[in-house]
Amino acid sequence: MYTTLISAQDLAAHIDDPRWVVVDCRHDLMSPAAGRDGYAAGHLPGAVFGDIETELSGAKRGPDGVFRGRHPLPEKEALIETLRAWGVDDDTQVVAYDAHGGMFAARLWWLLRWLGHEAVAVLDGGMAAWQAIGKPLTTELIAKPRGGIELRAPFVPTVTVAEVMDNVDKGERIVIDARASDRFRGENETIDPVGGHIPGARNRFFKDNLQADGRFKDAAALREEFAQLVEDPARAIMQCGSGVTACHNLLALEVAGMPGAALYPGSWSEWVGDGKNDTGRPVAKGEA
């Protein structure tokens, strides 16, 4: 069972295994159709496509009409149905990949753990690693038999915006922001209507988890670096712009042997809102 990362070589040995499901999670935050277009142009053999916008996220507004962020969590029942359509059973090994160092694949990794499915891993190095060992891409689409995965108790915790707001005053937990440092400081914000960060948060750009070749750093290096930010992962809250790249930091913590941190799914986009109404939540700018 692979539960964090899998190498291209190990995936290649199982690429035709009917008990495995491979999911292409490519995406572009500024061009939502780019991932599906890339999948159509060429993907790993047998892979299905997982759409960040429609399948791996839920409605941007709750039943009360309040904005929940750009990529709020999907309803668990809807996600289970998506996974069944992909052929996922309770004993299926799922492998997620992208072309962005795991930036989007880590979202599916976290979501499956949220559903209580342990056998899920991210292809270390993504498509580049697959092609680097001479393995092909294909445009062929393969229909898989419907799966029967069932919902189980989650392996991962979450926190609400109310809990994060309460923590601003109490400071009992460490908030770690996965966005680039300029966006954290409130500079060059082009996605959300307000720049800055949650007061008291610390910055760990998700790309700092990677080596130059796009693969994750080893466990010892990740452990040493994260230890400078948080002593007890169980007291840490991971966030980013919309709850996607925060999952990359959560995966890195798992690789480092430091499990237990929570995800704030709404993240910065929920914190500041969609620009139509002032949320009234405090905003900090500059360095941590």
Residues marked as catalytic: 240
CB 122 within 8 A of CB 59: no
Angle separating helix axes 246-255 and 105-114, nearest 10 degrees? 70
**What one-character DSSP code corresponds to residue 283?**
-
DSSP element (H, E) containing 58: none
Q: Show the DSSP H helices in the chain as ranges.
A: 8-12, 34-41, 76-85, 105-114, 126-132, 161-170, 181-185, 219-226, 246-255, 267-272
- CA dist 244 and 248 (Å) reads 8
For 199, 201, 240, 278, the CA distances from 168, given in Å and listed in that order, are 6, 9, 16, 18
- CA dist 214 and 231 (Å) reads 27
Question: What is the 3-state secondary structure of 154-197?
Answer: CCCCECCHHHHHHHHHHCCCEEEECCCHHHHHCCCCCCCCCCCE
**What one-character DSSP code corresponds to residue 254?**
H
Taking alpha carbons only, the member of 54, 186, 189, 35 closest to residue 103 is 35
